[in-house]
């Protein structure tokens, strides 16, 4: 029999090798994900910026309403936006593999999260050492995952004659083995999410290419939402052969206001927050082509932050 100290040394060596492999795998995934994807559902400021008082958020648009509900509490802030970018990017990659016949529909809907929380954090672009405890960012990220897991989105419209709508649950199943007290603690079982067929189809049929490096450089969730919105508007300008377009403050509020703007001061505060978000965005993406003045927000045609086209799978 081997001496106890020798066995312990070998066990520690195996653990260290596993940690290095997890780190290398996460770095490879991070480097491969310069081009990511999001969904048109998230062009709106779908998730709140701060922890809300209730479990439902409703957004009114010119086409109807979008509502998101979660019994675990609504996802909010920066982390669910990074998580959703990761989920959608992996789903689009899986859609490409589905088209090539490398996976079936059930396999394509599975989104791996890694064998440790540390691996997952690196994969979504959170670098550096996380903080544990009840108030640390590791517990918050785990909480945001659970909030996302139970979220459902309802899109509906009603013109008084014709009413239509659709309910979309994001996840069908989730299996998490993350301990925020020890993010490097590996698990024999890999954590994973399973998208509903409906949400996977929605993503695969109309993904929006984004630059994940730009998204990760943004610290404020409003700036992250503005980046996704601006990416769509740049494609819109190119498609319609327009050099620039000014979106009125009413139009901007319809996308980004988190409450009804009732007073003049409400509007002043809102415009100030949007200008702060524009400053942060143009620092990360200098050629964004976006400015703000008293008339509204002007988007000037420039090259989109990414050019890559997503795969187009043939779905039933």
CATH of the domain at 245: 3.30.1370
| Cβ neighbourhood burial of 112 (10 Å; 0-12, 13-18, 19+) | middle
Position 131 in a domain: yes
On whether both 233 and 142 belong to a single domain, the answer is no
Closest CA to 213 of 198, 224, 225, 226: 224
On whether both 19 and 128 belong to a single domain, the answer is yes
Alpha-carbon gap, residue 52 to 73, rounded angstroms: 8
Number of domains in the chain: 2
**Other C-beta atoms lying within 10 Å of the C-beta of residue 32:** 11
Position 171 in a domain: yes
Position 260 in a domain: yes
pTM of the model: 0.81
Q: What are phi and psi of 279, to 5 degrees?
A: -60, -45
On whether both 171 and 245 belong to a single domain, the answer is no
Per-residue tens of pLDDT for the chain, all 316 residues: 556 666 667 666 655 655 555 545 544 444 444 677 777 766 666 889 999 988 998 888 777 888 999 999 999 999 999 999 999 999 999 999 999 999 999 999 999 998 888 888 888 888 765 555 555 688 899 999 999 999 999 989 998 899 999 898 999 999 988 878 777 776 768 899 999 999 999 888 888 888 988 999 999 999 999 999 999 899 899 989 999 999 999 999 988 988 889 999 999 999 999 999 999 999 999 999 999 999 999 999 998 777 655 554 444 4
On whether both 155 and 256 belong to a single domain, the answer is no
On whether both 99 and 168 belong to a single domain, the answer is yes
Position 154 in a domain: yes
Residue span of the structural domain in which 245 resides: 218-303
On whether both 61 and 160 belong to a single domain, the answer is yes
On whether both 227 and 184 belong to a single domain, the answer is no
Report the DSSP beta bridge partners of residue 39. Answer: 207
Position 309 in a domain: no
On whether both 201 and 57 belong to a single domain, the answer is yes
Closest CA to 90 of 164, 165, 29: 29
Last residue of a domain, one of 151, 183, 216: 216
Position 315 in a domain: no
Alpha-carbon gap, residue 73 to 25, rounded angstroms: 32
pLDDT of res. 26? 46
Give, in order, the Cα–Cα distances in Å from 2 to each of 9, 10, 16: 11, 10, 20
pLDDT of res. 118? 84
Separation of first and last alpha carbons in the chain: 59
Last residue of a domain, one of 201, 216, 231: 216
Position 84 in a domain: yes
On whether both 242 and 257 belong to a single domain, the answer is yes
Last residue of a domain, one of 193, 216, 239: 216
| Cβ neighbourhood burial of 219 (10 Å; 0-12, 13-18, 19+) | exposed
Position 162 in a domain: yes
On whether both 41 and 131 belong to a single domain, the answer is yes
On whether both 179 and 72 belong to a single domain, the answer is yes
On whether both 223 and 209 belong to a single domain, the answer is no
């Amino acid at each position: 029999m081997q001496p106890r100290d020798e066995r312990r040394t070998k066990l520690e060596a195996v653990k260290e090798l596993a940690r290095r492999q997890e780190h290398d795998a996460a770095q490879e995934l991070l480097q491969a994900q310069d081009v990511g994807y999001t969904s048109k559902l998230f062009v709106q400021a779908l998730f709140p910026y701060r922890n809300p008082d209730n479990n439902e958020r409703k957004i009114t648009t010119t086409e109807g309403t979008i509502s998101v509900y979660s019994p675990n509490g609504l996802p909010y802030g920066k982390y669910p936006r990074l998580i959703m970018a990761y989920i959608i990017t992996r789903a689009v990659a899986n859609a490409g593999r589905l088209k090539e016949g490398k996976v079936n529909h059930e396999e394509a809907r599975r989104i791996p999260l890694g064998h440790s929380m540390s691996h997952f954090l690196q994969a979504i672009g959170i670098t550096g050492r996380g903080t544990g405890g009840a108030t640390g960012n590791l517990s918050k990220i785990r909480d945001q995952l659970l909030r996302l897991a139970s979220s459902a989105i309802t899109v509906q419209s009603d013109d008084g004659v014709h009413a239509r709508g659709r309910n979309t649950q994001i996840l069908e199943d989730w299996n998490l083995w993350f301990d925020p007290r020890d993010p490097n603690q590996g698990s024999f079982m890999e954590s994973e999410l399973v998208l509903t067929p409906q949400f996977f189809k929605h993503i695969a049929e109309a993904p929006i290419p984004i630059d994940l490096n730009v998204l990760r450089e943004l610290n404020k969730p409003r700036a992250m939402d503005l980046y996704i919105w601006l990416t769509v508007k740049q494609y819109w300008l190119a498609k319609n052969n327009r050099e620039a377009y000014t979106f009125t403050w009413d139009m901007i509020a319809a996308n980004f206001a988190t409450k009804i703007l009732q007073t003049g001061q409400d509007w002043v505060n809102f415009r100030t927050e949007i200008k702060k978000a524009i400053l942060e965005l143009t620092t990360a993406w200098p050629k964004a082509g976006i400015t703000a003045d008293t008339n509204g927000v002007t988007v000037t045609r420039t090259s989109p932050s990414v050019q890559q086209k997503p795969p187009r799978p043939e779905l039933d």
